[in-house]
Structures are given as C-alpha cells and as structure tokens.
Structure 1
C-alpha cells in the first residue's frame, strides 16, 4: 500500500514515479523514501538582524519549525537539500542546525548552491554529504535549473512564484512548484527568501503553495 496522502498535499506522477508536494515547499519521492527541499537559506534571519534589520527573534525558529513539520510528516530515510542550505557564512543559526541534525535519523545530502560558501568539512562533521549534483535513475538533482538529455531535472535557485488575480482587483503573489516538460523547480523553503514571478507558458504546470495546502493552478 502507498503512503496515505491527506488533502493538503498534492500527488503527481513523473516518469512512472510518485512525488508528493507538501505546503512547506518540500517534495517527497515515495518510491525512494526521499525528501527534497530547496533554498532554506539558514542564517539569513541572523544575518539581517546583525545588520540592523528589525526581524523578530521568533522568525529565527521558522525554518526549523517547517523542517520539523515536513520531516515529521514523511519520516524520510534520506533528505536532499537542493542548494543554498545556509545563506552565507556561519553565524549563531549554525548551532540550531547542528542540534537539528542530531535529532534526525535520515541520511542528509547537500547539492551545492551558489550561497553554499561554508566548507564541506564543516557539513561533513555534522553528517551532511556535500556534492555538486545527484543522479538517481532518470532524475537529475541540481541547484540551478538544467536541461540534460534523457534526464528529468529537479532544481531550485529561482524561488518561483506566480501572480493570482482575485476579487476586487487584488493580486496575490504566491510561491509555487513550477513544472516544465523535463523539469520541476521547487519553491524556496526558507523564510524571508522572496519570490521570482514566472509566467506560465503552454504545457507548463503550476502548483501554488499556501500555508495549508498545495493547489494545482489551471493556467
């Protein structure tokens, strides 16, 4: 029997495999028992606070609460971070990440992103394997979106979002999973990461992320 899927998640099929999209921005590959997360940008809150931005101390816990939520929901054997796990150099949020790593049993892999400037040795000391990319079967996992022959690409980096027009002319900008023919771009998982608004074209699929559910957007 497959893993139970509740209403807030979205089940999709890619190349005969089942992927579950979660409103945290994480994606679970059911057959591999593997959780994929992109662009957490740990340390960004501490970085902004250090430089005088008025961000509440509580905001620091936001990323870790989301990580606990999605890992607790899926209980994966393996977690892949698709780059930009940490926003910049080590700051006091590193200690929180160290503690988080001690509390989970999953194998953790980091596919390097452009913000990942911390030495791989620091990650490896916590049990995180750092690699430039990962290929599993027909699937290619990278930080930047890539097109490669005979591969379906999962990536991040873009922080994809879409505009949705509502009643009374209001307009919402929401994060999304953005799927093209041979590619899926994951939303940024982290707090205070911003969004890059994409315009869907014919054949694209958009799965909007709210705080409570993932919704297929009929474009």
Structure 2
C-alpha cells in the first residue's frame, strides 16, 4: 500500500480536552482555543488573529461591534496564563491590514505589549501584515525553525514535511446521523499541520475546498474545536458545506 493511502497517525486524546499529534516526529499539542503548544520548546503559537478587522469594516461603512480585538486578546491572555510560554509566536495576519496597528485602542496596544513580559514575542509576517508591527516589542521573521518544524504563515504547495502554517482558516463540516456541525479545526496528516484562525471575526474555509488539495501526502485528520476540547475526526466523516 502506498504512503498516500495510509491514514494519518492516530492522535492521542487527553482528559483535559487537548489533542496530541505527531508532526514530522515532533509532538504538537492542539488546544481547544485553537492555539498550538510545542511543549519541548515552551512555545505557544497562534495564527490569523486579524486584529482590528471590525474597525477596517467600519471604515468601509459595514458596521460591526468594535470588540473583536478585545475578545481575541482576552482569549490569548488566558492561554498565556495557562501554559506560561517562554516564546509566543504570532503566525502571520496578526493584524487585518497594515494600518490596523494605528487603529488599536491604547489599552489593547498596552495589553499586546504586556505579553512580552517575561517571554519572547515573534511576529511571523503574513499577507495582511507583511511589514510586521512597528511599535510593539518582539522579533519579526518571515519564518521560524523549531527542531524539525518550519513555522510560516502560508502553506507552500506540494508536500512540505514539518511545515506548520495558518492562512487558510480551516473549518470542518462534521457529518453525523442527525445532521452536521461546522467547526474551526486543525488539520494534519502527520507530515504538516495547518492551524485554525484564532481571531474573533475570522471566517473559515472548508478543508474539502480545492485550496487544500495537494497539500497532504495521506488523508488527514482534523482536530475540530469544541467548547472545551479538541475532537479528532477522520477524513471520511467530513463533508462539504
């Protein structure tokens, strides 16, 4: 049987709601918040916060409640308190556009800066924030190597062993006997991993969309985000929107 027909390695569920998977030989802990915890490096990784998306829409006349940044930062601060990372990595598109940092409320900017207290912040740039932040502490990078893993914003085409990325905002339509539910999700085949969007106002792209075609060497599994746990779901249980 070819590698492409073998299922992804079985994930290990935990009673605390997290899901542990192997990615290119590295242990990756998938958290219900949508954050990735790399325990050996004491590194917390979040993708696609799209801070100030609400204010960007308001500037174009589409009024949304202006609380997306505040809500997203609250969840991020809670994750930082839970795991106490040495390094916090923003995996691109942290800001919704290049002027979003200027639109930050002063209190929200202070909260972002405070996340650097006692740890290193690394801002991996994305297509929405290609210059990285200007007035916030931390290091700016195009990508980051962590053991066998390469962290970058946008997944590269074809097999990319060890790649950890965001950008696609993966969501899963999980089919059941009484219907289906749609959830943000991690997606991995054991070779690479794509993170869900962490931001409050970010939408999602179904993992069966053509944008995901060709990225995995075997049928992947998803880690669908529930209220307090990550649910491992096989490819055959997923449907289109």
TM tier, shorter chain?
Answer: 0.7 to 0.9
Partner of 2:47: 38
Partner of 1:159: 169
Matching of residue 66 in structure 1 with residue 75 in structure 2: yes
Is residue 17–residue 31 contact of structure 1 (8 Å, CA) maintained in 2?
no
Is residue 153–residue 167 contact of structure 2 (8 Å, CA) maintained in 1?
yes
Which of the numbers 86, 94, 100 marks the counterpart of 2:111? Answer: 100
Q: Distance in 2 between matches of 1:203 and 1:131?
A: 31
151-160 vs 192-201, greater mean Cα deviation? 192-201
Q: With a CA cutoff of 8 Å and minimum separation of 6, indicate the structure with the bigger relative contact order.
A: 2
184-193 vs 98-107, greater mean Cα deviation? 98-107
Q: Distance in 2 between matches of 1:80 and 1:18?
A: 17
Matching of residue 78 in structure 1 with residue 87 in structure 2: yes
Q: Distance in 1 between matches of 2:58 and 2:154?
A: 28
Which of the numbers 137, 151, 154 marks the counterpart of 1:144? Answer: 154
1:127: Cα distance to partner?
1.2
Give the TM-score normalised by the residue count of structure 2: 0.78
Pairing of 1:1-219 with structure 2 (within 5 A): 7-88=16-97, 89-90=99-100, 91-93=102-104, 95-104=106-115, 105=117, 106-117=119-130, 119-120=131-132, 122=134, 125-146=135-156, 151-169=161-179, 171-199=180-208, 202-219=218-235
Instruction: Describe the superposition over 1:18-66 as per-residue Cα deviations: whole angstroms up to 9, x where unpaired.
Output: 3211111100100000011100001102212333334224444211111
Is residue 68–residue 199 contact of structure 2 (8 Å, CA) maintained in 1?
no
1:10: Cα distance to partner?
1.5
Query: Per the alignment, do residues 25 and 63 of structure 1 end up closer, same or farther by CA in structure 2, a change over 3 Å counting?
Result: same
Q: Distance in 2 between matches of 1:100 and 1:6?
A: 31
Query: Per the alignment, do residues 48 and 7 of structure 1 end up closer, same or farther by CA in structure 2, a change over 3 Å counting?
Result: same
Instruction: Describe the superposition over 1:113-151 as per-residue Cα deviations: whole angstroms up to 9, x where unpaired.
Output: 00004x4461xx421211111112211111111268884
Instruction: Describe the superposition over 1:137-185 as per-residue Cα deviations: whole angstroms up to 9, x where unpaired.
Output: 211111111268884000000000111224543x322111000242100
Is residue 26–residue 149 contact of structure 2 (8 Å, CA) maintained in 1?
no
Query: Per the alignment, do residues 180 and 96 of structure 1 end up closer, same or farther by CA in structure 2, a change over 3 Å counting?
Result: farther
SS in 2 for 1:31: helix
Aligned pair count? Answer: 211
Alignment root-mean-square deviation, CA: 2.4
Consecutive unaligned residues in structure 1, runs of 5 or more: none
Is residue 180–residue 205 contact of structure 1 (8 Å, CA) maintained in 2?
yes
SS in 1 for 2:40: coil
